[in-house]
């Protein structure tokens, strides 16, 4: 798999994503500056976490107009895997590649902690390596992760099984107590209707090595690698 990790001014998880990706055999991951205009030849595009453009105006609102976003949009429309993590999720929502938006956390606090996430759908290129209902232990670090969409959009997301991760308790129970930010229906990650664009607030790239405290994030990248190699085969 050949992946592009987009660097916006203010991205700060770009090299973490690159390190996580290249820890898998046969995966190449290039850092691609946001002023570039082509993503030709890449199987996957990662929009990493951080504070693109200082989160000025709204999170992701300026990054969505970066030159590279035309190429990201084109890649998404041709079935290339697009993964947005944290600020990358916010950018995908602002760009209209995913529905809804991420608002200020309901408790107003920046939440930087580990959370449990339940896998809600495994029939996607991002979650195929998990068991349905698996509970992952992933770190979150955000001030604006409160997912909101209007009732029609929410209904469509559920009807199409586009919610891939929800904040849960350790036993997988979805509760208000497990929700760190006020997100609608504990939503932590959603995919596009076509399944090839995925945005999530937690940071899988930070838990891809036991030295860093866990490996629960690896399954997302493993799933992407499997999906890419099965397309090629």
Interface ranges with another protein (CB under 8 A): 57-58, 61-62, 65, 93-94, 100-101, 103-108, 148-150, 182
Among 94, 144, 205, 208, the one annotated catalytic: 205
Distance of CA 209 to the CA centre of its chain: 18
191 carries an active-site annotation: no
Q: How far is the CB of 32 from another protein (least distance, A)?
A: 23
Q: How far is the CB of 68 from another protein (least distance, A)?
A: 17
Q: How far is the CB of 81 from another protein (least distance, A)?
A: 25
Rounded (10°) CA dihedral 72, 225, 121, 88: -30
Among 34, 142, 144, 203, the one annotated catalytic: 203
User: Could you tell me if 93 and 198 are in contact, meaning their C-beta atoms sit under 8 angstroms apart?
Assistant: no
Strands (E), 120-215: 135-142, 146-148, 163-168, 187-191, 197-200
Q: How far is the CB of 97 from another protein (least distance, A)?
A: 14
Q: CB count, 10 Å around CB of 187? A: 28
- With respect to another protein, which residue has the nearer C-beta, 37 or 106? 106
- With respect to another protein, which residue has the nearer C-beta, 31 or 184? 184
- C-alpha atoms less than 13 angstroms from C-alpha of 35 in its C-beta half-sphere: 1
Quote helix, strand, coil % in the chain, to nearest 5: 30, 25, 45
94 carries an active-site annotation: no
Residues forming beta bridges with residue 190, ordered by sequence position: 163, 199
Q: How far is the CB of 145 from another protein (least distance, A)?
A: 13
Among 17, 86, 93, 191, the one annotated catalytic: 86
- With respect to another protein, which residue has the nearer C-beta, 43 or 144? 144
- With respect to another protein, which residue has the nearer C-beta, 109 or 132? 109
205 carries an active-site annotation: yes
- With respect to another protein, which residue has the nearer C-beta, 25 or 151? 151
User: Could you tell me if 154 and 184 are in contact, meaning their C-beta atoms sit under 8 angstroms apart?
Assistant: yes
Catalytic residues: 86, 203, 205
């Amino acid at each position: 798999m050949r992946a592009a990790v987009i660097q916006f001014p203010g991205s700060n998880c770009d090299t973490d994503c690159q390190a996580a990706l290249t820890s898998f055999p046969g995966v190449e991951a290039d850092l691609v500056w946001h002023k570039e205009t082509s993503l030709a030849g890449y199987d996957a595009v990662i929009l990493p976490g951080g504070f693109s453009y200082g989160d000025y105006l709204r999170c992701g609102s300026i990054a969505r107009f970066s030159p590279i976003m035309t190429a990201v949009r084109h890649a998404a429309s041709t079935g290339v895997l697009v993964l947005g993590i944290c600020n990358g999720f916010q950018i995908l929502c602002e760009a209209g590649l995913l529905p809804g938006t991420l608002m200020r956390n309901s408790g107003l606090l920046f939440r930087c902690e580990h959370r449990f996430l339940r896998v809600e759908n495994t029939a996607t290129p991002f979650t195929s390596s998990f068991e349905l209902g698996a509970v992952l232990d992933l770190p979150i670090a955000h001030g604006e992760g409160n997912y909101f969409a209007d009732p029609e959009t929410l209904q469509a997301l559920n009807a199409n099984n586009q919610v891939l991760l929800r904040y849960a308790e350790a036993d997988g129970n979805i509760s208000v107590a497990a929700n760190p930010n006020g997100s609608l229906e504990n939503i932590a990650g959603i995919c596009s209707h076509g399944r090839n664009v995925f945005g999530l607030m937690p940071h899988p790239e930070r838990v891809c090595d036991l030295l860093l405290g866990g490996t629960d994030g690896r399954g997302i990248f493993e799933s992407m690698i499997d999906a890419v190699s099965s397309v090629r085969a």
